[in-house]
Structure 1
Amino acid sequence: MKNQVSGSNPAKLAKDTVIVSPISHRPLTLRTPVTLGVVLIVLVVLLTAVWISGTVWGAVRNDSTSGMFWVMLGAGAPLLVAVLAGVIAYLTLSVKAFNLNRRQSNFIDSVTHELKSPIASLKLYLQTMTRHDVSVEQQKEFHLIMLEDVERLDSLINHLLDAASVERGGEGYEASDLSLETVLSKCAQGACVRYKMPPETVSIHCPAIYVHAPVVQIEILFRNLIDNAIKYGGSPPKVELTAVCSSSGDVTVSVLDNGTGIPANLRRKVFGRFVRLGSELERSKQGTGLGLYLVRNITHALGGRINIQDGHWAVSTETTDPFDATESSALEPSSSASQPTSNPAPKGSIGTRIDVTLPNGKIVEPDPETDSTPPAE
């Protein structure tokens, strides 16, 4: 039996020997459903054209059956149009379902990596401390590293919980008047700590603006915006936050980074659920593809709007080109075009600028009686 199985001649294999071929999974593509949908649409269009032509020809003959043809034309044409609309809608839903399935697969790969990496690190350091004698200095170093891993896990879990809360409509959070500068400073400080960046990585230009909104949603909104800007910024990343308030009470917060930018045809897609540009296996940035999805949903839930575009950085105070000065003033309404930013980027640097506009805002002017300082004697 052994010789028969291991022999080079396939004809000498034993009768009860089963050769199992390797399983090959063909990657799912949209070619088949799209082709089928296009063929069905063409057939329905041809059928509609033939139906309408035939019934019109029969209706204009002015004989005893012309009335029946008019009835058939009035009843059949809308039905054929409805069938055509149904085929187009079915094709559209199929494409969306395919894309969602692909994004969910990327999401699973990303979350698996995000969970496995800190857990493997924690396991390694715990095993090292258990099996070997570790000095006090090394123990402190290990504890700091393990604490960072735990915070990374905690951040990921909070991210998933935020996404689940937004997906099911959220809770009835109580709105209050919030200092926008305080919220932005808190979110920026936390992002710099998470990504181990110096505090000057994020610069804030915000007057005394207050917004009436739930503090939980506002913090989730700007935390994800700043995280996204730092994560996909340049090397080193630079982020600038600019806030303005219109006379109608609309507050616009612009988040500008110094990254490579987003192609115009992909700017709407990045706000989708589980959307991350590129291949998940070739990506070096951490994330789950839920950050901008949370930003979009929370902005809409607060009655606001969001816009994404290329962002241009102001370079220096010696801007002589009037076009550059006008452009800088339009993009940074809270500061003068001749005034340098506190976080300048290289000349010609084009990043991504996301504008979030929220209602129910107001500027609180300082009270001169309470804020005035006594004159020096």
Structure 2
Amino acid sequence: MPERKSLKLPIVLAVVMIAMLIALIVGWVFFTVPGSDDDQPGLSWAAMAIGTTFLAVLLVGVILYLALSIKAINLTSRQQNFIDSVTHELKSPIASLKLYLQTMDRRQVTPQQQHDFCRFMLEDVERLDLLINHVLEAARLERRADDKERCQVAVDQLLELCARNVCLRYRLSTDIIQLDLDPCLLDAAPVDLDMIFRNLLDNAVKYSADEPQVVVSLRCESEGWLVVRIRDNGPGIPPQLRRKIFGRFVRLGKELEREKPGTGLGLYIVRTLIKRLGGKIRVDSPDSGTGTVFEVQLPGGRATGGRQGDEEDRYEPEVLASSTGEKL
């Protein structure tokens, strides 16, 4: 996460503007009153020119100070939203865990109930783990070097795994995510790609309509670009807000009035990781006019003829676990 903004610049700017204002008033009084006679007209013009220059600089300083103040207020508001969302995201699973543990401790439960409780508690732990990973990853992004281990990743298989994990998290049928994937390889850190696509798929399902329908396509273009498009059937994002959503702590609307959980860090992490990989991400509306399309473009993609490969360092996404702890 970027370093905290220093208050040095606004303070220095305010002090300089106050000093210039005092100098302007004193200078005009000093030059205007004695120069009321017509013996030195050039001096009056010089005083007028200096005063006008000082006034112009003051106006620029006031505008700059106002812009910095608005930026600071917006950042404070986003941070407050972030604190509200994290507080809610922490309290909800903890309260759920406490309830299940108290029930198991105070009552006789059947083996089937115990199994169900353990599964629900594991989902709550997964939710906490995801939240903590988001916060820690956002804090490390701006400072860490690109030192994660890279290998040949089968992106089509990774997308399938991410889609299954997201459906498991929301307890939805895997049919809601339609996959149209060409076999493609990409030299990248598997953890980074997993975080990128899991965040985008999670958002697509979370912000879709009551009956989510998500379409994911993967293509390797001739220029070596790997292109992933994720389309949902949600309400969409207004064009004027599409650039804003990739900022830190940004969530549209007021935090306490939202029904969807989140921290405002997911898309910030996605954009930063994609930039580190030399790629691009853009947001658009589908031809139907409803929903949102996220398009990810990553360089270095390579089409393959099938699922088999002879790369020694090829990444096998099957080793990842689902949100229920079962190997996929």
Give TM-score scaled by structure 1 length.
Answer: 0.65
1:296 maps to 271
Select the residue among 94, 115, 118 that pairs with 1:140. Answer: 115
Select the residue among 104, 114, 122 that pairs with 2:79. Answer: 104
2:293 maps to 353
Deviations 1:4-36 (A, max 9, x none): xxxxxxxxxxxxxxxxxxxxxxxxxxxxxxxxx
Between the aligned residues of both structures, percent identity stands at 49
Cα displacement (A) at 1:222:
0.9
Matches within 5 A, 1:259-298: 259-298=234-273
Select the residue among 213, 227, 243 that pairs with 2:202. Answer: 227
Matches within 5 A, 1:1-377: 84-169=59-144, 171-312=146-287, 348=288, 350-365=290-305
Residues 88 and 210 of structure 1: CA distance in aligned 2, closer, same or farther (over 3 Å): farther
Residues 366 and 288 of structure 1: CA distance in aligned 2, closer, same or farther (over 3 Å): closer
Contact 1:165 1:171 in 2 (8 A): no
Residues 241 and 131 of structure 1: CA distance in aligned 2, closer, same or farther (over 3 Å): same
Q: Tell me the distance in 2 between the aligned counterparts of 1:82 and 1:299.
A: 41
Cα displacement (A) at 1:84:
4.6
- What is the DSSP-based 3-state SS (H/G/I as helix, E as strand, rest coil) of the residue aligned with 2:292? strand
- What is the DSSP-based 3-state SS (H/G/I as helix, E as strand, rest coil) of the residue aligned with 2:211? coil
- What is the DSSP-based 3-state SS (H/G/I as helix, E as strand, rest coil) of the residue aligned with 1:178? strand
Cα displacement (A) at 1:245:
2.6
Deviations 1:216-275 (A, max 9, x none): 211111111111111101121111111223322122211100001011111111111111
Deviations 1:80-138 (A, max 9, x none): 76655443333222212111111111111111111111111111222222223333333
- What is the DSSP-based 3-state SS (H/G/I as helix, E as strand, rest coil) of the residue aligned with 1:120? helix
Contact 1:187 1:222 in 2 (8 A): yes
Residues 366 and 145 of structure 1: CA distance in aligned 2, closer, same or farther (over 3 Å): closer
After the TM superposition, which of the residue ranges 96-105 and 243-252 deviates more from structure 2? 243-252
Q: Tell me the distance in 2 between the aligned counterparts of 1:169 and 1:222.
A: 21
Q: Tell me the distance in 2 between the aligned counterparts of 1:78 and 1:221.
A: 51
Question: What residue ranges of structure 1 are gaps of 5+ in the alignment?
Answer: 1-36, 52-62, 313-347, 371-377
Deviations 1:57-76 (A, max 9, x none): xxxxxx9969x96xx97x99
Q: Tell me the distance in 1 between the aligned counterparts of 2:86 and 2:145.
A: 22
Contact 1:258 1:349 in 2 (8 A): no
Contact 2:246 2:271 in 1 (8 A): yes
Q: Tell me the distance in 2 between the aligned counterparts of 1:236 and 1:297.
A: 31
Q: Tell me the distance in 1 between the aligned counterparts of 2:91 and 2:129.
A: 13
Residues 286 and 247 of structure 1: CA distance in aligned 2, closer, same or farther (over 3 Å): same
Q: Tell me the distance in 1 between the aligned counterparts of 2:278 and 2:53.
A: 38
Residues 84 and 252 of structure 1: CA distance in aligned 2, closer, same or farther (over 3 Å): farther
Greater RCO (CA < 8 Å, at least 6 residues apart) = 2
Counterpart residue type for residue 361 of structure 1: G
After the TM superposition, which of the residue ranges 259-268 and 138-147 deviates more from structure 2? 138-147
Q: Tell me the distance in 2 between the aligned counterparts of 1:361 and 1:351.
A: 27
Residues 288 and 134 of structure 1: CA distance in aligned 2, closer, same or farther (over 3 Å): same
Indicate the RMSD between aligned Cα atoms, in angstroms.
Answer: 3.2
Q: Which has the larger radius of gyration?
A: 1
